[in-house]
Structure 1
Amino acid sequence: MTTYDVAIIGSGPGGYVAAIRCAQLGMKTALIEKYNTLGGTCLNVGCIPSKALLDSSHHYEDAMKHFAEHGIEIPGEIKLNFKKMIERKQAVVDQTTKGIEFLMSKNKVDVFTGTGTFKDATHVVIASEKENKEIEAKNIIIATGSKPSTLPFITIDKDRIITSTEALTLKEVPKHMIVIGGGVIGLELGQVYRRLGAEVSVVEYMDRIIPTMDGAQSKELMKVMKKQGVKFYVSHKVSAVERKKNEVTVTATDKKGNEVQFTGDYCLVSVGRRPYTDGLKLENAGVKVNERGQVEVNDHLQTNVSNIYAIGDVIRGAMLAHKAEEEGVLVAEILAGQKPHIDYNLIPGVVYTWPEVASVGKTEEELKDAGISYKSGQFPMRALGRSRASGDIDGFVKILADAKTDEVLGVHMVGARVADLISEAVTAMEYRASAEDISRMSHAHPTYAEAVKEAALAATENRPLHI
């Protein structure tokens, strides 16, 4: 039996990054993955394929609606080859997962394909179709991620009533896709299929979409997506989802108590995700989970069993690939005797619709609830020369700063490329910058980033230059 310094169960962004960092720090490392490809949900059926479809559908929409205004004339009819679009998405996935295989080989990480199950706190049995193997590890990291959630009365048939996984491999563009849930996944995939010609109806239980983000972002994104043709039904509680042949009917109750029905050919259930620990047999190692199914960990991401750690979607906190990566590095460095840290307040959140939505730090609602005195500065993207040049004039940048110290407490953006732009805010907040600090930094012209400087000027002295 081979003995490892660390064994990692799950090869998503948290698991494979933890494996790389452990190997870099000189540990003999094993990575266990139940599926035939590495990368977990994110690379196979999440972040990467959804972004590939978002980009492809964006190009299609531009060709259909915006090329002419740029003086680009395409002779003949523009046609959608949906099969080719799905094939390209898969090619991107395949290339990315092969890249992870290369990184494992480069860093001399031993990869095992099969389902990892705890025999006890230091032994893992790996069951595959061919054989069962057993390895020993001084330390074990649980990085098994999450799976799509559903509602108790919904039967996911993976054909017409689907999750995000199936939405990435459809054989046709829906005529009418009903999306249950106005969060990140539902909005991103809803926008993909709206661009490709589907009617899209988003049914959301809360009174606004992306309810965990700043209220101004929810309002702006809904306004823009309504212009794009997406229909929204907020404050609607779904009570039934039924399929008859190729027709799906969703029944919901609105805020006035009236029953409403929606009929379409596909229903995307995107009501969140749940921690995935099925088959791990955590009880054999004595590892505790809480009432939400999350593996319980302390501030060092250590479970109640001292040599077993857990990271990513399987523990508390936002279910974000980059959060899992940071946690994977943190555990590896703790095992190496270092003293790393993560500031969870500074992990950004992004919605990859167009316009994109990005946030870091506290929302305005959170500051109000906490009784923190703050000031706000906001700048519209349409006032930027770069936005007008590209035609991406929707959105804004909002900076929230402490009323007394001027320290930046939160930054919230909607607009073109804000998924990349949010890193400026993360950097500034990591060094506890004030709004004035940002306002005095030179920003290249013409860029979308100028909106950050202008919002900082608005927060500092209410003196933006270009409005």
Structure 2
Amino acid sequence: MNSYDVAIIGSGPGGYVAAIRCAQLGMKTAIIEKYATLGGTCLNVGCIPSKALLDSSHHYEDAVKHFEEHGIEVPGDIKVNLKQMISRKQAVVDQTTGGIDFLMKKNKIDVYQGLGSFKDATHITIKGEKTEEIEAKHTIIATGSKPSNLPFIELDKERIVTSTEALKLKEIPKHLIVIGGGAIGLELGQVYRRLGAEVTVIEYMDRLIPTMDAGLSRELNKVFKKAKFSVNVSHQVKSVERKGDEVIVKADNKKGEEVEFKGDYCLVSVGRRPYTDGLNAEAIGVKLTDRGQVEVNEHLQTSVKNIYAIGDVVKGAMLAHKAEEEGVFVAESLAGQKPHINYNLIPGVVYTWPEVAAVGKTEDELKEAGVAYKSGQFPMRALGRSRASMDLDGFVKVLADKETDEILGVHMIGARAADMIAEAVVGMEFRASAEDISRISHAHPTYTEAFKEAALAATDDRALHI
């Protein structure tokens, strides 16, 4: 039987990063993955493939709608080759997951393929092509999450699908109904809308991306309506039925009236649930919460002291980069170091176009906490860089403490917001004031000038270009 200092169950961004950091710190490390490829949901059926399709569909939309204005003439009709688009997406996935294989070999991490389950606190049974058992002084649970479903919806994975199936459809839907107005549903909805599908979004809450700042929701709603999405908020879905190649969705609107939607595909995107199936964790004393999450303390330690848990399977936002930070945190804790994670400063991003990104507190959260704050906002359309690229939608908003001027939250929607938010994270990690950002020279012309201008607007309302 092979013995290890650390075994990690699950090879998503949390798991494989934890494994690498453990190995860097001199621990003998094993990683266990039940699927044939490493990388978990994010690399195989989540972050990476969805971004590949978003980029491909963005290129197509630019060719159809914007090339002529840029003075680019394309002879003949521009057509979508969905098979090639899906094939390119898969090539990106294969290259990325192959990179994880390389990193495991480089760091001398033993990889076991099979379902890992606890025999006891220090022994793990792995059921794959053969059944094996390993011993581990410490174990990190990094088993991630699976798409959630509503109890009355039968997912046939052909016409009524989750994000996993939506990433490999064999045809462009005529009418895609998306249940859920969060990041995953909106990103995939935008992919197929660009390719020519009619798209209807049904959201239970009173706005799109309901966990983010209300101003971002309003702006994104405008963008989607301009793109001829049918957006239906405050609608409670009560039935989804397939009849041949047609899917019928019935929902109650905010007046309690029944509304019917008909399409040929339905994407159920109502969040994700922690995945602990087959772990046998509870049998050895690992406690789960009433939401199915692994219960952990501030050190990400479970109720069994040598077992830790990270990522989607524990409390907090289900984000790949949050899982990575937690993986590094546990590895360094096991090595006797004193790492830290500031959960308030883990950014959230929606990869639609324009992109949506945020870090820190929303206005609603500050109001609820009774914090006196000031707000500065700057529109992307006032930037020379935005006019040059024709990316005019969106804004950057800076929220700062009314007395100290410390930045408490940054919320942005616009071109490259996913990349721009990093400057806000750095600033807030060092407790920057709005004035600090406003006095930093930003290259011209860039999108990030909007952050500087918003900071100026929050500092005595002195934005320069509006």
Range into which the TM-score falls when normalised by the shorter chain: over 0.9
Letter in 2 for 1:392: D
| Shift of residue 284, structure 1, vs aligned partner | 3.0
- Match of residue 20 from structure 2: 20
* Match runs of 1:17-56 below 5 Å: 17-56=17-56
Map of 1:6 onto structure 2 = 6
Deviation at 1:173, TM superposition (A): 0.3
> Any conservation in 2 of the 1:127–1:133 contact (CA below 8 Å)?
yes
Whole-Å separation in 2 of the counterparts to 1:217 and 1:364: 11
Output the CA distance in 1 between the equivalents of 2:256 and 2:273.
29
Tell me if the contact between 1:160 and 1:267 (Cα under 8 Å) persists in the aligned partners. yes
Among all aligned residue pairs of Structure 1 and Structure 2, give the percentage whose two residues are the same amino acid: 77
Deviations 1:246-291 (A, max 9, x none): 1000000000111000000000000000000001011232100010
> One-letter code of the match for 2:220?
L
Structure 2 match to 1:382? 381
Report the CA distance between 1:151 and its aligned residue.
0.3
How far, CA to CA, are the matches of 2:11 and 2:393 in structure 1?
38
1:313 match: 312
State the SS of the aligned residue for 2:368. helix
Q: Which amino acid aligns with 2:352?
A: T
SS at match of 1:297: coil
Corresponding residue number in structure 1 for 2:156? 157
1:93 deviates by: 0.1
Please show how residues 192-341 of structure 1 align to structure 2 within 5 Å: 192-341=191-340
Deviation per residue, 1:187-222 (Å, 9 max, x gap): 000000000000000000000000000000000001
Q: Which amino acid counterpart does residue 216 of structure 1 have in structure 2?
A: G
CA–CA separation in structure 2 for the residues paired with 1:404 and 1:162: 50
Query: Which residue identity lines up with residue 194 of structure 1 in the other structure?
Result: R
Q: Is the 8 A contact 1:288 1:303 kept in 2?
A: yes
Structure 2 counterpart of 1:191? 190
Distance 1:77 1:154 in 2: 40
Take 1:131 and 1:286, find their aligned partners in 2: how far apart are those partners?
Answer: 27
Question: What letter matches 1:147 in structure 2?
Answer: K
Query: Does the 8 Å CA contact 1:121/1:284 hold for their aligned counterparts?
Result: no
Task: State the secondary structure of the residue aligned to 1:316.
Answer: coil
Q: Which residue of 2 aligns with 1:117?
A: 117
Distance in 2 (CA, whole Å) between partners of 1:80 and 1:270 is: 25
Instruction: State the distance in 1 between where 2:429 and 2:445 align.
Output: 26
State the SS of the aligned residue for 1:68. Answer: coil
Q: Which amino acid is 1:333 matched to?
A: E
Give the letter for the 2:41 counterpart: T
Q: Distance in 2 between matches of 1:106 and 1:314?
A: 27
Q: Distance in 1 between matches of 2:28 and 2:284?
A: 21
1:138 is displaced (CA, Å) by 0.2
Deviation readout 1:362-411 (Å, 9 max, x if unpaired): 00110011110000000000000000000001000000000000000000
Structure 1 residue 461, shift from structure 2 partner:
1.3
TM-superposed deviation, 1:64: 0.4
Asked whether the 8 Å contact 1:355–1:395 carries over to 2, the reply is yes
Q: Is the 8 A contact 2:216 2:413 kept in 1?
A: yes
Distance 2:323 2:332 in 1: 14
Match of 2:174 in 1: 175
Q: CA deviation at 1:46?
A: 0.1
Paired residues in the alignment total 466
**Cα distance in 1, alignment partners of residues 364 and 71 from structure 2:** 44
Contact 1:8 1:141 in 2 (8 A): yes
The 8 Å contact of residues 282 and 288 in structure 2, kept in 1 or not, is answered as no
Q: Distance in 2 between matches of 1:181 and 1:368?
A: 27
Consecutive unaligned residues in structure 2, runs of 5 or more: none
Any unmatched runs of 5+ in structure 1?
none
Please give the alpha-carbon distance, in whole angstroms, between the structure 2 residues aligned to 1:370 and 1:403: 14
Per-residue deviation at 1:225?
Answer: 1.1
The residue that corresponds to 2:418 in the other structure is 419
Report the CA distance between 1:293 and its aligned residue: 0.1
Q: CA RMSD in A?
A: 0.4
Partner of 1:457: 456
